Structures are given as C-alpha cells and as structure tokens.
Structure 1
Amino acid sequence: MQHVTIPQDRIGVLIGEGGATMREIESRAEVRLNIDSETGSVEVESVGDPITALNGPDIVRAIGRGFAPEDALTLLEDDLTMFDLLDLDKATRNKRDLKRKKGRLIGENGRTRQLMEELSGAKVVIYGSTLGIIGTPEQVEAVRSATDMILDGAPHGAVYSFLERKHNEMKSETLGYHEFGAGER
C-alpha cells in the first residue's frame, strides 16, 4: 500500500462524476483507492496483478499534478510509458522568478508547452510549481532537456531547434525499427 497526497482542487478530478474516474482507475490499474477529501491523502492498495498496480500511485500523482485522467491512464498502455515530475521551485530564486520562468515554459498562448508536446510526443502539464511529463524515456528526456534549456535562459528559437532535431531523430529511429523489423538492423 502506498500513500499519495494531491492538491485539494484535484480531488474532484480524481474521483470524477459520480466516482466514474476513480472506478476506472481501480479497475484498469487493479488497485483500491481510499481518498480522504479533507487532506488530499490517497491510499493506493494493490488488489490484483501487483505489476499492473505499480502504476496506481503514478496515475494518482499525475492527475494530482494537472493531467487529465485519460492521459494519466496511458501509463497502463505500455511498459515504457513513464511519469516524471520536475520541481520548478529548485530552479528559481523566488515567487517572481518562478512566475517568469513558468511563463517562459508555457510560452505565448501556451505555444512553448504545446511545441514540447508535439515535437517530443510526450504529454506535458505545468501546474503550480511543477512540470509533469508522461511519455517514453526518450520523450521524457527530450522535454527535460528543453525545460532545462529554457530555465537556464536559452532563447526559445534554440530550444525549438533542439526539439525539432530530437523529433527527427526519434522519427527516424522509429522508421528504421519498423522498416527492418525488430532485431534486423
């Protein structure tokens, strides 16, 4: 059994209308969720396949950090899909600096965050003082690197070029893999 604490304003999303989201998570991840809506504490208990249930806490954490339930549930679709969380507070000096850097990560009308998603193939959410990523290890690493570049003050153009390069590398690796079949390279 694991305990996860999520922000109070995300408890409703975790439970869903009439408990639908909670029941779907419990069924698909083979866990039982015991949610304390007063404190935001969520007990995640394995009730089925222990390997499948390992994703339960990350699904709850991802929803707690701003992901839509359907995006969080993609953690069950593939063994390589992972959830990663970056603490933006560690890269900032104060609240004003955090606000400025979050603004740079989001971009005008959300464009930078959107490009991170499109070019990496990962899902990216900025919520509070965190940046959450759901994707394959390679996708997560591309978003992490782009985030570090932006936090370090790199121009957006340089970050977009980096992401474009990563996108093309990942695309050609995927094509090579499908073209020649697994293990025939």
Structure 2
Amino acid sequence: MQHVKIPQDRIGVLIGEGGETMRRIESEAEVRLDIDSENGSVAVETVGDPVRGLKGPDIVRAIGRGFAPDDAMDLLADEMMMFDVVDIDAASRNKNDLKRKKGRLIGEGGRTRELMEELTGASVVIYGSTLGAIGTPTQVEAVRSAAEMLLDGAPHGAVYSFLEEKHNEMKRQGLQYHRFPGGQS
C-alpha cells in the first residue's frame, strides 16, 4: 500500500461527482483508494494486476498536480506512459521569483505550455508551484529539459528551437507522437 498526499482543493476532482472518478480509477487501475478528505491523504492499495496497480499512485498524484482525470488515466494507455513533476519552487529564490518563473513556463496566453504539448506530444499542466508532464519517457524528458532551460533563464526562442528539434527527432525515430487516447498523431 502506498500513501499519496494531494492538495485539499483537488480531493473533489479525485472523487468526482458521486464518486464516479474514484470508482473509475479503482476499476481501471485495479486498486482501492482510501481518501481522507480532512488532510488530503490517499491510501492506494493494489487489488488486481500488480503492474496496473503500480500506476494507481501516479494517477492520484497527477490529479493532485492539476491534471484532469481523463488525462491522468492516460497513464494506463500504455505501459511506457509516465508521470513527472518539475518543482518550480525549488528553482526560485522567493515568491516573486516563483511567480516570474511560473509565468515563463506558461508563456503569454499559455502559448509556451501549449507548444510544449504540441511539440512533444506529452500532456503538460502547471499547477501551484509545479509543472507536471504525462507521456512516454522521451516526451516527458523533452518537457523536463525545456522547463529546466526556461527556469535557468534561457530565451523562449532558444527553448522553442530545442522543442522543434526534439519534435523532428521523435518524428524521425517513429516515436512521434500519439497523445492518448485520441490526441494528435
């Protein structure tokens, strides 16, 4: 059994209307969730296929980090799918710096975040003081690298060029990209 802590304001999303989301996660990931809505602690116990059960805690973490339940469930679409988190706060000196760096990751009108998704094929969410990515290892690594470049102060143009390069590289290797389930391909 694993314990995952999620923010208070994401518990309702995890449970879903009438418990619908929680039941879907339990059924598809073959786990049992015990949610403590007082403190945001979620116990995740595997009750079926251990390999599917391993994805349960990551699905809960992803929802806790701002992903919509459908996007978090993409972790079950393929055994290679993974969830990664970049801690923006750890790269920030203070609250103002955190705000500025978060703004750099989001970009004007959300454009930078959208480009990360479009060019890598990963799902990307910026929530609180984290950036979360769901995708294949190659997709997630490209998002992490781009995010770290931006957090280190690289110009947006240089990061966009890097993402274009990664996009073309994945295309050449046939890794491009199937966003699950009906995303671009």
State TM-score, norm by structure 1.
Answer: 0.93
Aligned residue number for residue 90 of structure 1: 90
Structure 1 position 175, deviation (Å)? 7.4
Aligned residue number for residue 180 of structure 2: none
Aligned residue number for residue 51 of structure 2: 51
Alpha-carbon separation, structure 1, partners of 2:157 and 2:54: 39
SS at match of 1:174: coil
Structure 1 position 50, deviation (Å)? 1.1
Alpha-carbon separation, structure 2, partners of 1:62 and 1:100: 24
SS at match of 2:141: helix
Q: Where does 1:17-32 land on structure 2 (aligned, <5 Å)?
A: 17-32=17-32
Amino acid at match of 2:138: E
Aligned residue number for residue 61 of structure 2: 61
Q: Could you list the runs of 5+ residues in structure 1 that have no partner in the other structure?
A: 177-185
Alpha-carbon separation, structure 1, partners of 2:153 and 2:139: 22
Amino acid at match of 2:144: R
Alpha-carbon separation, structure 1, partners of 2:98 and 2:64: 20
Aligned residue number for residue 70 of structure 2: 70
SS at match of 2:19: helix
SS at match of 1:67: coil
Structure 1 position 161, deviation (Å)? 0.7
SS at match of 2:161: helix
Root-mean-square deviation (CA, aligned residues, Å) is 1.1
Give aligned pairs, total: 176
- Percentage identity across paired residues of the two chains: 78
Alpha-carbon separation, structure 2, partners of 1:74 and 1:110: 22
Which digits, 9 at most, give the CA deviation of each residue in 1:143-170, with x for residues without a partner?
1110111011111111101100100110
- Please list every run of at least 4 consecutive aligned residues from structure 1 whose deviation after the TM superposition is greater than 4 angstroms: none
Aligned residue number for residue 35 of structure 1: 35
Aligned residue number for residue 103 of structure 2: 103
Q: Could you list the runs of 5+ residues in structure 2 that have no partner in the other structure?
A: 177-185
